[in-house]
């Protein structure tokens, strides 16, 4: 699928989230994270079936992108996948991340904090939820070593909103960087998506009020039926 659509730069994306959680929209972060994570999980089901890609490693960062990953892991578990978490550093800022982790544990999702190389064993699919549109370099440990490992893996990677380590507006910071096979943009694609060369590009975030799209002059594709995601570019391999 190919179409023209708008992009949301880093500064505008930050303002957009602030507006969503302001009095004029009334959302709270927990709602937005649940909807975003669900849309990521649903996007994955469109291209990677639980039969062919049952074992999913979710790489969880310390911020909101990581929270989206925790939500996605839980939903994938309910969808019949066998997710596991690499969660080296918990967030100290938002208490409900502990609740998201507890929900995963209650779904019998294993959690690894230290040995990333072991996490890659018997893994069919990787969800990159380390860093989102708020990322600013430099990348520090333990994420630096993990991203280096992801650069060299042959396991397909699904990046949440922004491939970790990429500049939100400019794309990869060097000639290396991770190369996801799938990108799930959230709310609106970020400019770095123009440099995404993978097979599958989806958009998630079917919750934005019409007036917000108009206010930010966003032209986005319509979501089909009751789906929480829409394909921007794809080739099916189910």
- Among 169, 210, 164, 218, which residue's Cα sits nearest to residue 11? 169
Check whether 62 is labelled as a binding-site residue.
no
Check whether 69 is labelled as a binding-site residue.
no
- Going 30 to 57 to 161 to 212, the CA torsion angle's sign is negative
Check whether 132 is labelled as a binding-site residue.
yes
Check whether 167 is labelled as a binding-site residue.
no
Check whether 156 is labelled as a binding-site residue.
no
Check whether 98 is labelled as a binding-site residue.
no
Check whether 214 is labelled as a binding-site residue.
no
- Going 41 to 46 to 49 to 55, the CA torsion angle's sign is negative
Check whether 64 is labelled as a binding-site residue.
yes
Check whether 37 is labelled as a binding-site residue.
no
Residue showing tokens 């909807």 = 35
Under a CB-based contact definition with an 8 Å cutoff, are residues 163 and 196 in contact? yes
Check whether 211 is labelled as a binding-site residue.
no
Check whether 135 is labelled as a binding-site residue.
yes
Q: How far apart (Å, rounded) are the C-alpha atoms in residues 59 and 87?
A: 6
Strands 182-186 and 200-204: parallel
Check whether 66 is labelled as a binding-site residue.
yes
Check whether 133 is labelled as a binding-site residue.
yes
Check whether 61 is labelled as a binding-site residue.
no
Could you give the dihedral angle defined by the CA atoms of residues 221, 190, 81 and 178, in that order, rounded to the nearest 10 degrees? 140
Which residue numbers belong to the known binding site for (6S)-NADPHX?
64-68, 132-138, 143, 161
Which residue numbers belong to the known binding site for K(+)?
65, 128, 164
Which residue numbers belong to the known binding site?
64-68, 128, 132-138, 143, 161, 164
């Amino acid at each position: 699928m190919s179409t023209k659509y708008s992009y949301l730069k880093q500064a505008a994306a930050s303002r957009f989230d602030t507006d969503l959680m302001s009095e004029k929209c009334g959302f709270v972060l927990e709602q937005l994270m649940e909807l975003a994570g669900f849309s990521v999980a649903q996007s994955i089901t469109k291209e990677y079936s639980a039969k062919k890609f049952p074992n999913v490693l979710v790489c969880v960062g310390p911020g909101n992108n990581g929270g989206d990953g925790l939500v996605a892991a839980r939903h994938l578990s309910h969808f019949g996948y066998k997710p596991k978490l690499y969660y080296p550093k918990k967030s100290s800022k938002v208490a409900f991340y502990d609740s998201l982790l507890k929900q995963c544990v209650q779904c019998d999702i294993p959690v690894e904090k230290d040995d990333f190389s072991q996490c890659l064993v018997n893994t069919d699919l990787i969800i990159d939820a380390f860093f989102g549109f708020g990322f600013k370099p430099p990348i520090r440990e333990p994420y630096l070593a993990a991203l280096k490992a992801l650069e060299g893996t042959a396991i397909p990677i699904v990046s949440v909103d922004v491939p970790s380590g990429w500049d939100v507006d400019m794309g990869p910071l060097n000639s290396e960087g991770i190369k996801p096979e799938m990108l799930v943009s959230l709310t609106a694609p970020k400019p770095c998506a123009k440099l995404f060369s993978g097979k599958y590009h989806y958009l998630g975030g079917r919750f934005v009020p019409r007036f917000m799209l108009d206010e930010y002059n966003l032209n986005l594709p319509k979501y089909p039926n009751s789906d929480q995601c829409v394909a921007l570019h794809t080739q099916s391999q189910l």
